[in-house]
Amino acid sequence: MNSEIVEKIADAVLYEGYILYPYRASAIKNQQRWNFGTLGPDEFMQTECLVVGTAETELDVKVRFLQMIAREGEVWNEGVSRSVQLCHIQLNGPEHTQAFEFNHGIKFNSDITGTVGITCLMLRDRLFRVTVRITNGNPVTEGTHEATLLRSLVSTHTILSIGRVEHNQGEFVSLLDTPEQYREEAAQCKNFGTWPVIAGEQGTRDTLLSSPIILYDYPQIAPESGGDYFDGTEMDEMLALRVLTLTDEEKREVRAGDERARRILERTEMMPNDHMLKLHGAVRGMKPVQEEPAPESIRVFGVDVKKGDRVRLWPRKGGDIFDMALEGKVAIIDTVEQDFESRVHLAVVLEDDPGRDLGELRQPGHRFFFSPEEIEPLALEDQV
């Protein structure tokens, strides 16, 4: 279950920005693409994290990225998913280095070469620092941005997990919410071009995702999402509506282009209405508000005022046209109310308003709010 959750998040990272609306290869934004986590020739990415474990604790490390493939006669470079995996890395073991090379048999493409290096260092009893360094081994040469992408590791990220072996115990330390006893060591971790977070089911600490996109611990795919749109700068609802407005000619180009773009079009055109409504938005993480009951009365200028009392209105200077019109008017307190910050407000209706009954029904335009400092109890006038 944990690996399934992490893989979904990792796929979202892998393809973020891969193809953008209007999902046509002829669109300039898709010809001059820019992706997170792009390691150009002779560049590197480094992840450093903390692991609590023993000398026998083992790690599995997977590096994933896209290799861009250029095809003759096409303006669109297709992305092919690549991965390099190192398993059973012991925390007390030697440094591991694994070289990799990928090609696609196409004369327009350069081979992708590089190395993944892993170092584990014991900092103190049961605390280890793990360093994963990914290097693009292609040499730097002159060329266009598009030509450089063909020799780059695109959307590069790393998944680290505690090896699934018997009696293998260990856990990653959050670098975002670090326990007090590990904060000094966490502050010394050096991450370049990447952002490590705890991933998987809430509360577990056996998997870490090191992403070129800033995330929180335990990132999740929204349950309302019906699939990838690859464009995190826009809401799924907006993208879905825009896809539906594509012309027939634009849709033909999408269908004839990248397979993932074609899936977006097909999924959106077949999306049921109830699924579209789910994309409109959802509220999560709201904590219940402990409302305090509003007081029945409040003391103003030494006089207790309450519902039904007559007051004169003196709005603060610098208000709007309504404040100018209501200044000096006599009003009746309809309710005494209190907001979430415990501030008291008085809802009033004007005594001479022909629509006063509408104000008592809480209709706008006949009911007004004032702070205690903006009213004068008429009981004071009676005393003069």
What pLDDT, on a 0 to 100 scale, did the predictor assign at position 3? 77
Asked whether the beta carbons of 165 and 62 are under 8 A apart, the reply is no
Band of pLDDT at residue 384, cut at 50, 70 and 90 = very low
Mean pLDDT confidence for 224-250: 82
So what's the pLDDT on residue 233?
A: 62
Which of 239, 237, 229, 202 is closest to 217 using CA atoms?
A: 202
Q: Which residue would you say has higher pLDDT here, 145 or 210?
A: 210
Bridge partners for 124 per DSSP: 127
Give the CA radius of gyration of the chain: 31
* Full set of structural domains in the chain with CATH: 35-221 (no CATH), 297-383 (2.30.30)
pLDDT in tens, 108-150: 677 899 999 999 999 999 999 999 999 999 999 888 888 888 8
Residue among 241, 298, 232, 313 at smallest CA distance from 273: 241
Give the pLDDT mean for 315-320.
75
Q: What's the confidence (pLDDT) of residue 289?
A: 55
The pLDDT of residue 64 is above 60: yes
Taking residues 305-319, what's their average pLDDT? 87
In this predicted structure, the answer to whether residue 34 has a pLDDT above a threshold of 90 is no
42-79 as b/e, with b when 16 or more CB fall inside 10 Å?
ebbbbbbbbbbbeeebbbbbbbbbbbbbbeeeeebbbb
> CB–CB of 249/210 below 8 Å?
no
pLDDT-wise least confident of 125-139, 157-171, 235-249, 263-277: 157-171
Across 282-301, average pLDDT: 72
62 and 85 Cβ atoms separated by less than 8 Å = yes
Greater pLDDT, 25 or 332: 332
What are the residues whose beta carbons fall under 8 Å from the beta carbon of 131, sequence distance 6 or more?
46, 47, 48, 117, 118, 119, 120, 121
Higher pLDDT, 93 or 310: 310
Query: Which residue reads 């999408």 in tokens?
Result: 254
pLDDT for residue 361: 82
This model's pTM is above 0.95: no
Alpha helices, H only, the chain: 2-15, 28-31, 145-149, 183-187, 236-244, 248-255, 259-269, 273-278, 321-326, 356-360, 378-383
CA-CA distance, 164 to 323, in Å (whole number)? 70
- From CA 184, how far away is CA 316, in angstroms rounded? 53
Does residue 383 carry a pLDDT above 60?
Answer: no
pLDDT in tens, 353-378: 988 888 888 877 788 999 999 999 98
In order of 289, 338, 347, 349, the CA distances from 335 in angstroms are 21, 10, 5, 10
